[in-house]
Chains A and B, each alone.
Chain A
Amino acid sequence: MKTRGELQISFGWLFAIIAGISILFLAIFISTKIIKTEQGEADTTTAKKLDVLLNPLETSFESGKTTTIALSSETKIYNKCEDIGNFGKQLIQISQKSFGEYSDTGIDVSFPNKYIFSDEVVEGKKFYLTSKPFNYPFKVSDLIFLTSKEYCFVDAPEEIENEISDFQENIKVENCSDESVKICFMEEGCDVDVYWGRQYVQKGDEKLYFSENLLYAAIFSDKDIYECQVKRLMKRTEELASLYLDKSVFVANKGCYSNLEIELISLKESAKNFDISENFDSIDYLADSLNQKNKMSECKLW
């Protein structure tokens, strides 16, 4: 008996509708996943490309090098650092804007032989990269400064002004915009205050101690990144001191004496025990004396 208004759907139809809906949902779900994976793949490829592009920033006799990276869409570069192992690791992650939203970050791309100093997240379409050698007392590595914001150096000493003239267009000493990050050398209360004589940089309540070209590293990077990268640099200093120690023994066997073994052992130990940037104060003199001795040596090691 049929009741009026009753919808008659056969089992076959019902089955087809349910199966169709399931397939449709599955297709939508898979498509969404594929789009996300593609985006992640693109981000990871960009991060790896960035790693490759950093190779030419290695300096030899130059005092520094600069380059610019322009990307097609707004990008966030996440700078991460790990200080575990023989050399620690530099990690970067990329997140690019698509359809008005930033994608989930891609996979970490790691490289143990590079040291990038920047904020934890650097955002923009155009990125400025500058490298400077770090000698302690032998060349340890190149420091890479990654920026996208405008920085304004106020009352910088002539030496610094000359040096930053080789940096890129986002680093200024005059005609600075209101949005720029102010770095002051003579007055206090700026975004970054540099205490040149006492060898530290103050950012709010945080003090970042520096030595040599690490001044710029301290200015351009967040405290956590800075401390971690400095620790990694000291790990490489330790390995290099060990390498020079072996070299000094090797060339001594040939009859060429450097007589730097004791100082190299001290530097190696100090680098091994290096904890925070405040420790520079106690190692700087050792690096200086080692440098003087090497210069005077009959058989230079570096």
Chain B
Amino acid sequence: MVKNKSAQLKIQQMTFMLIAVTLFFVLVGLFVLSIKTYGLKKIANNLEEENAKLLVAKLANSPEFSCGDVYSYSEINCVDADKVIVLKDRKEYADFWKVANIEIRKIYPVTANKECSLKNYPDCNIIKVFSKDVNAGAYQSNFVSLCRTEILEGEKYDKCELAKILVNYEVKE
């Protein structure tokens, strides 16, 4: 009877020990996993930031933005404002560049901040091409010339202004 009790006690001790060891490993595992997940998110955000940096440098030359041969002095990094204003908020393009926001800000000549729409264009200075309601990272920007066609007394002429194209990416949390 005494021998049986002692064996039961030993089994109990062993069980507690095993539970403690398992719990310890589970906790260590969770700790390692949280560090790994944090590292992975950091890598993902760094890659998104890198992508935004490289994209902003080249976005002005993509077909949806570029001036092509429309304007007499259009060279690289020329954005066609007449094209971008009709591109604004097109649902088809919402996920096309995989970034959170794309906007173009006219910086010279300096005017009061006013968002562009088809109604007030060109008397405005911010074209929000796409805007997603997400946690967005820092803006990456690049200087561009923003050109459009103007008509004065029946005569067509090109008007180009200095602008910045801004892109920011979605931060993974």
A residues whose Cβ falls under 8 Å from a Cβ of B: 10-12, 15-16, 19, 23, 30, 41, 45, 48-49, 51-52, 55-56, 58-61, 86-87, 111-113, 138-141, 236, 239-240, 243-244, 246-247, 250-251, 254-256, 298-302
Stretch at the interface among B61-69, B104-112, B130-138: B61-69
* Chain A residues positioned under 8 Å from B40 (CB to CB): 41
The reply to whether B66 and A298 form a contact with Cβ atoms under 8 Å apart is no
Q: How far is the CB of A281 from chain B (nearest CB, A)?
A: 24
In the complex, B11 has a CB within 8 A of chain A: yes
User: Which B residues lie within 8 Å of A19 (CB)?
Assistant: 14, 18
Chain A CB within 10 A, most for which of B22, B66, B97? B66
Determine which of A59, A86, A111, A239 lies in contact with B61 in the assembled complex, contact meaning CB atoms within 8 Å. A59
Question: How far, in Å, is A83 (CB) from chain B's closest CB?
Answer: 15
Given A113-B97, A138-B68, A250-B85, residue A58 in contact with residue B61 (CB < 8 A): yes
30 A-B contact pairs sorted by A residue (CB < 8 Å): A12-B10, A16-B14, A23-B21, A48-B44, A48-B47, A52-B47, A52-B50, A55-B51, A55-B54, A58-B58, A58-B62, A60-B76, A60-B77, A86-B92, A87-B96, A112-B96, A240-B63, A243-B64, A243-B83, A243-B86, A244-B83, A247-B82, A247-B86, A251-B82, A254-B151, A255-B154, A256-B149, A298-B156, A299-B149, A299-B156
Contact A254 to B149, CB < 8 A, known contacts A55-B58, A113-B97: yes
Is B64 touching A60 in the complex (CB atoms < 8 A)?
A: no
CA distance A236 to B85 in the complex (A): 18
8 A-B pairs with least C-beta separation:
A55-B54, A60-B61, A58-B58, A302-B68, A246-B86, A60-B76, A255-B151, A86-B92
Number of A-B contacts defined by CB within 8 Å: 102
Given known pairs A12-B7, A255-B154, the reply for A56 and B54 (CB within 8 Å) is yes
Interface residues of chain B, those whose CB is within 8 Å of chain A, are: 7, 10-11, 14, 18, 21-22, 29, 40, 43-44, 47, 50-51, 54-55, 57-58, 61-64, 66, 68-70, 75-77, 82-83, 85-87, 90, 92-93, 95-98, 118, 149-151, 154, 156
For the complex, give the distance between the alpha carbons of A111 and B97 in Å. 8
Query: How far in angstroms is the closest Cβ of chain B from A47?
Result: 10
| Separation of A52 and B47 alpha carbons in the complex (Å) | 7
CB-based nearest B residue for A236: B63
Closest to B95 in A: A112
A301 to B75, CA, bound (A): 16
A113 and B62 CA atoms in complex are apart in Å by: 10
A11 touches B64 (CB 8 A): no
Partner pick for A15 among B11, B43, B63, B156, CB 8 A cutoff: B11
Query: Do B98 and A111 touch (CB < 8 A)?
Result: yes
Query: What is the CA–CA distance of A286 and B29 in the complex, to the nearest angstrom?
Result: 63
CA distance A86 to B94 in the complex (A): 11
B34 to nearest A CB, angstroms?
A: 14
Measured between alpha carbons, how far is A243 from B149 in the docked complex, in Å? Answer: 17
- In the bound assembly, the distance between CA atoms of A23 and B22 in angstroms comes to 8
What chain A residues lie within 8 Å of B118 (beta carbons)? 250
Question: B54 touching A52 by the CB < 8 A rule?
Answer: yes
Q: How many whole Å from B103's CB to the nearest CB in chain A?
A: 18
